[in-house]
Amino acid sequence: MYAHLRGKLTEKSPTRLVLDIGGVGYEVNIPLSTYDRLPETGEEIFLYVQAAYREDSVTLYGFAGREEKTLFNLLLGVSGVGPKVALAILSGTTVPGFCNAIIAQDDKVLSAISGVGKKLSQRLITELKDRVASLGDLVAARPGSTINPEAVNALVALGYSRVQAVRAVQAVQGEAKTGDLETLIRRVLKRISSG
């Protein structure tokens, strides 16, 4: 129903904010990653939002970036993950960090997030390993990311899954300097073919 909101920030805390839109104050729950990007109160902000409807209430969840909202919705699709746990995950890691942990099947990184134990981290990996591909371009294109998006897209065009492509590119880039794109793709293909 709601995709985004723009209004004046009137209150903020690490877990929620109040957005004034036309004289109406909307309370919005937020992750720490969004709180860190908020300006001072009194300034205008733009938030991507997701509404959760219950019998007796409507709760709004807000995100500074579209990728956070997308990951929030993916997390809600996992058995045993509700809005509070999804916000805790978004507060405990970045979207690229989370996606990279899922792709690498690193349950230690995931279980280190507050509210996520060993069982839930394994369930997250099992249920999301093929679905984080929808965030692949966002993760690969994110500033500071170590994943070369052109190499990933080239491997996907060759028929590899996005998850397999991201894993292989990460592994090769982690080994040493790879030089140009052509050299990187050659090394990645060699790694994939050798097992």
Is the CATH number of domain 146-193 1.10.3470? no
Cβ-contact 11, 28 below 8 angstroms: no
* Integer Cα distance of 175 and 129 in angstroms: 23
Contacts of 125 (CB under 8 A, 6+ apart): 102, 105, 107, 110
What is the topology classification, in CATH, of domain 4-63?
A: OB fold (Dihydrolipoamide Acetyltransferase, E2P) (2.40.50)
- What are the pLDDT tens digits along the chain (195 aa)? 789 999 999 999 999 999 999 999 999 999 988 998 899 999 999 999 999 998 999 999 999 999 999 999 999 999 989 999 999 999 888 888 888 888 888 888 888 888 899 999 999 999 998 888 666 555 554 444 556 667 777 887 888 876 677 777 777 876 656 567 888 888 888 888 886
Which residue, 83, 163, 74, is CA-closest to 124? Answer: 74
Give the pLDDT confidence of 122-159 residue by residue, as tens digits: 999 999 988 886 665 555 544 445 566 677 778 878 88
State the pLDDT at residue 169: 79
Convert 20-39 to b/e letters by CB count within 10 Å (16 or more is b). eeeeeebebbbbebbbeebe
Which ranges in the chain are annotated with CATH 2.40.50.140? 4-63
Rounded to the nearest 5 degrees, what angle is found at the Cα of 100, between the Cα atoms of 153 and 13? 120
pTM: predicted TM-score of the whole model, two decimal places: 0.70
State the pLDDT at residue 8: 98
State the pLDDT at residue 134: 63
Which ranges in the chain are annotated with CATH 1.10.8? 146-193
Q: Which one is the CATH code of 68-132: 1.20.58.220, 3.30.70.1450, 2.130.10.10, 1.10.150.20?
A: 1.10.150.20
Cβ-contact 60, 28 below 8 angstroms: yes
